[in-house]
């Protein structure tokens, strides 16, 4: 293995757990296109998910097979634990091709070569970067195959973290703390939003004295002023003005593992109403953290939050958190368990969640989030950052 | 229109050109899920492409309809030119749903409401973020509809840039120059790759005295040492060593418009072989730029490059460039015209390309790229940056 991000044993365990889920569903092969799942199973790391690529797991091979673009095969050699016979690359005329060639034509050949062209093959039908065309093209090339939707199959294997994964998430949390401090420090009247974004990025990549930071799967989000009710706006050149609320949501990243953190600040002296709302959020977050432990369901955790805000006659439709960890753009979420009504997933030790229960009103929003790990009897909050409304 | 990134007239022209292509293909509606195309037609800007969203264009409406998640509707109000009746949002239980709900169920309702549920509907079957599941779910919900693959339909409208778009690309080029200078300056023996990445990001977001920078669609790529033959590796904590070649590929971004730039440097005194190879790249790039003008095909431009490297008994399988401009992660490329054999696209004034003809060998690679605009009688290189092999 060229890089020692994880031990060989850890990759073996991941493959074994994946194969077990495949056996339960009587699958002979899996085509894994989600870049986070590719990394999880094979170690592959690189900004090449803008072309079609995947990792293929078959029941009868110990190693998965990486399939991607010719110029990325060296990247697979550099970052995966796979042997040369498990790295297969398509020629460049398949890329955004004017010749009626599609990368999935090559994938079909590889699946044939692996002896699974007439077998039961799982596809991540709702994953990023696995397009509708990819599906139709595979279907057309492999008329004897039987395709099953296995979206989230590997994501569910990822839910419980290993000690090494948790260490990387804790390292990411140190970066998140530094970046949040830098962002809060940069925000003041007259400073453009982009200047605060610059200060945050500086800290995100600077990392700590021991290690540098990686790019996060989501850029720092920084809705401000009228826009704190619009959580996914990115920064502009607008200068902060007296009376602006500003929400910062960011995450440090270490070996693609995240530990997101959100806080709210105010340019000037925050009005009492905003202070009051933040106190409710803090009370709600901690009430939810208090009930989190193995055996408790995700919906139960959300209900603890909802019980608090209902006391104050408030409502929030959105889910308040989600399982997360490893990720590539556009998301660090795993798309598995969510903290919301109806989600009966039972918490187990070493699951990790980002709890981000903002309250958004017509004219402003307040958010405060924590990333936490389920411990043997409670919850460990990964970042150590004051839970309060900040101001300039 | 809440933001004045483009005039109303410019959006009208884009919609009209899109509708013309729809008429040619007898389409009643288009579902546009590519975030760059959503921005192009509606102005929508936000990091929300990690959930299902799209813009729907119908022949009988002047405005497209934005469809997305409830909590992003305010973002649509803040960034698009659309009226309230053209913003439709689905409830949060559709997001990564455990309830057998999918956002495309809501999309089907909107298409029904727009009277096109039994019409000919174009889908971007091979676009980022339009998944196989999205397609199947739409098909299931709208059994009377006839679906056509319209991947790249809007991308081809984007190929020729307006004056305002070109201004933003030139502004992005200023940022690219600053970021490249910062990166080259930061690289020296013993400095970790992440420190150079930090310096680059700092400049990318700092922008210029007149404007700040936006996040680029691709993070700065910086393969170094043994890895210069692997173009899409991102940075690590490895310190640069004496004798490392380092390739930097980056782009400034202004209002989501890019102007990518790549250069190669060397830690120490570069060996003659590398100098020689860089001279070939510079000769090839300029030979290709020299033939670029309206009326010339993309493959002709590539041939000018290939003629040069063949003189030196070199070959390169990969395309040497692509049309680009507006973009969101994971790519700033438009996926339309490429500079490569067989691409007979005829250059027209105000098309813009990133020409990036690296030479990669087993032990090192050299790259040098330019972003250019096709002028009335030649090519305008957007960045002003020395064309040479750098060293520390």
Closest approach of B176 to chain A, Cα-based (Å): 15
All residues of chain B having their beta carbon less than 8 Å from the beta carbon of residue A133 are 125-126, 149, 151
Q: Residue A256's pLDDT band (boundaries 50, 70, 90)?
A: very high
- For chain B, 392 residues long, the average pLDDT of each consecutive 10-residue run is 79 98 98 98 97 97 97 94 97 87 97 98 97 97 98 98 98 98 98 97 97 97 84 92 96 98 97 94 98 98 97 89 98 97 97 92 86 98 98 94
The answer for residues whose C-beta is within 8 angstroms of residue B23's C-beta and 6 or more apart is B59
What are the structural domain ranges in chain A? 8-158, 163-381
All residues of chain A having their beta carbon less than 8 Å from the beta carbon of residue B201 are 198, 201-202, 205
Helix axes of B35-42 and B8-24: crossing angle, nearest 10 degrees: 120
**CB distance B71 to A228 below 8 Å:** no
Residue A46 has its nearest CB partner, among B195, B201, B233, at B233
**CB distance B227 to A240 below 8 Å:** no
pLDDT above 70: percentage of residues in chain A? 99
Nearest chain A residue (CA) to B123: A132
Q: What is the pLDDT of residue B204?
A: 98
Q: What is the pLDDT of residue B2?
A: 47
Structure letter (DSSP) for residue A365: E
Contact A212 B197 (CB under 8 A): yes
Nearest chain A residue (CA) to B363: A74
Residue B128 has its nearest CB partner, among A129, A333, A360, at A129
Grouping H, G, I as helix, E, B as strand and the rest as coil, residue B277 is helix
Q: How far is CA B183 from CA B197, B250, B384, in A?
A: 7, 10, 16
Structure letter (DSSP) for residue A227: G
Which CATH superfamily, name and number, covers B8-157?
A: Creatinase/prolidase N-terminal domain (3.40.350.10)
Contact B132 A128 (CB under 8 A): no
Q: Is the peptide bond before B67 cis (omega within 30 degrees of 0)?
A: no
Burial code (b: 16+ CB inside 10 Å, e: under 16) for A124-159 equals: bbbbbbbbbbbbbbbeebbeebebbebbbbbbbbbb
The answer for residues whose C-beta is within 8 angstroms of residue B262's C-beta and 6 or more apart is B247, B248, B249, B250, B356, B358, B367, B368, B369
pLDDT at A32 over 50: yes
All residues of chain B having their beta carbon less than 8 Å from the beta carbon of residue A123 are 132
Contact A227 B127 (CB under 8 A): no
Closest approach of A92 to chain B, Cα-based (Å): 5
Q: What is the pLDDT of residue A3?
A: 56
**CB distance B63 to B83 below 8 Å:** yes
How many CB atoms lie under 10 A from the CB of residue A9?
Answer: 9
All residues of chain A having their beta carbon less than 8 Å from the beta carbon of residue B231 are 71-72, 75
Contact B135 A132 (CB under 8 A): yes
Q: What is the pLDDT of residue B3?
A: 56
Closest approach of A112 to chain B, Cα-based (Å): 22
Q: What is the pLDDT of residue B1?
A: 41
3-state helix, strand, coil in chain B (%, to 5): 35, 20, 40
Nearest chain B residue (CA) to A199: B202
The answer for residues whose C-beta is within 8 angstroms of residue B114's C-beta and 6 or more apart is B29, B56, B58, B61, B65
Nearest chain A residue (CA) to B49: A330
Task: Pick from A105, A232, A297, A321 the residue to mutate for testing the B interface (most B CBs within 10 Å).
Answer: A232
How far is Cα B138 from Cα B107, in angstroms, rounded to an integer? 8
All residues of chain A having their beta carbon less than 8 Å from the beta carbon of residue B230 are 46, 71-72, 74-75, 77-78
Q: Residue A2's pLDDT band (boundaries 50, 70, 90)?
A: very low
- As for the ipTM of the complex, it is 0.95
How far is Cα B291 from Cα B346, in angstroms, rounded to an integer? 12
Residue B132 has its nearest CB partner, among A70, A123, A338, at A123
How far is Cα B375 from Cα A391, in angstroms, rounded to an integer? 51
pLDDT at A228 over 90: no
> B331-338 and B54-58 as β-strands: parallel, antiparallel, unpaired?
unpaired
| DSSP string computed for A271-306 | PHHHHHHHHHHHHHHHHHHHH-STT-BHHHHHHHHH
Contact B75 A330 (CB under 8 A): no
Contact B338 A98 (CB under 8 A): yes
All residues of chain A having their beta carbon less than 8 Å from the beta carbon of residue B98 are 338, 342-344
Residue A221 has its nearest CB partner, among B47, B330, B331, at B47
Contact A45 B234 (CB under 8 A): yes
Could you give the residue ranges of the DSSP H alpha helices within A73-162?
A: 73-79, 103-113, 132-141, 153-158
Nearest chain A residue (CA) to B317: A92
Phi, then psi, of A355 in degrees rounded to 5: -100, 115
Nearest chain B residue (CA) to A102: B126
Instruction: Examine domains A8-158 and A163-381 and report if their fold is the same.
Output: no
Residue A232 has its nearest CB partner, among B72, B219, B230, at B72
H/E/C letters for each residue in A36-88?
Answer: HHHHHHHCCCCCCCCCCCEEEEECCCCCCEEEEEHHHHHHHHHHCCCCHHHEE
Mean pLDDT across A153-159: 98
Q: What is the pLDDT of residue B14?
A: 98
Mean pLDDT computed over every residue of chain B: 95
Contacts by A206-211, CB closer than 8 A, 24 or more apart: A206/A178, A206/B194, A206/B195, A206/B198, A207/A174, A207/A175, A207/A178, A207/A252, A207/A254, A207/B194, A207/B237, A208/A171, A208/A174, A208/A175, A208/A178, A211/A171, A211/A254, A211/B237
Contact B317 A233 (CB under 8 A): no
Contact A230 B72 (CB under 8 A): yes
Contact A205 B212 (CB under 8 A): no
* Highest CATH level, class, for A163-381: alpha beta
pLDDT at A116 over 60: yes
- Domain spanning A8-158, CATH architecture: 3-Layer(aba) Sandwich (3.40)
Mean pLDDT across A63-71: 96
Nearest chain A residue (CA) to B5: A236
């Amino acid at each position: 293995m060229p890089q020692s991000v994880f031990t060989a044993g850890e990759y073996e365990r991941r493959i074994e757990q994946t194969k077990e889920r495949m056996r339960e569903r009587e699958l002979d092969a899996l085509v894994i296109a989600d870049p986070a799942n590719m990394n999880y199973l094979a170690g592959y790391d690189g900004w090449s998910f803008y072309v079609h690529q995947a990792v293929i797991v078959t029941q009868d091979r110990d190693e998965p097979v990486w399939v991607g673009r010719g110029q990325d095969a060296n990247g697979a050699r550099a970052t995966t634990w796979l042997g040369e016979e498990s790295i297969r690359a398509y020629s460049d005329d398949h890329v955004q091709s004017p010749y009626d060639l599609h990368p999935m034509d090559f994938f079909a050949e590889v699946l044939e070569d692996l002896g699974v062209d007439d077998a039961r093959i799982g596809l991540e039908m709702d994953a990023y970067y696995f397009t509708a065309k990819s599906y139709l093209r595979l279907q057309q090339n492999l008329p004897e195959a039987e395709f099953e939707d296995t979206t989230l199959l590997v994501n569910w294997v990822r839910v419980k973290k290993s000690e090494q994964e948790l260490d990387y998430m804790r390292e990411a949390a140190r970066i998140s703390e530094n970046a949040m401090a830098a962002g809060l420090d940069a925000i003041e009247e007259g400073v453009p939003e982009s200047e605060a974004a610059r200060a945050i990025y500086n800290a995100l990549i600077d990392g700590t004295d021991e290690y540098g930071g990686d790019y996060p799967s989501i850029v720092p989000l920084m809705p401000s002023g009228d826009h704190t009710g619009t959580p996914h706006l990115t920064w502009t050149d607008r200068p902060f003005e007296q009376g602006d609320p500003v929400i910062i949501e960011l995450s440090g990243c270490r070996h693609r593992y995240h530990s997101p953190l959100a806080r709210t600040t105010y340019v000037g002296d925050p009005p009492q109403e905003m202070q009051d709302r933040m106190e409710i959020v803090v009370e709600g977050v901690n009430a939810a953290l208090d009930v989190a432990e193995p055996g408790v369901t995700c919906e139960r955790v959300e209900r603890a939050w909802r019980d608090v805000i209902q006391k104050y006659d408030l409502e929030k439709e959105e889910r308040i958190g989600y399982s997360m960890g490893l990720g590539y753009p556009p998301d660090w979420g795993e798309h598995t368990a969510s903290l919301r009504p109806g989600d009966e997933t039972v918490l187990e030790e070493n699951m990790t969640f980002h709890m981000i229960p903002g309250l958004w009103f017509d004219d402003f929003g307040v958010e405060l989030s924590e990333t936490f790990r389920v411990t043997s009897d409670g919850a460990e909050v990964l970042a150590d950052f004051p839970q309060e409304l900040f101001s300039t």
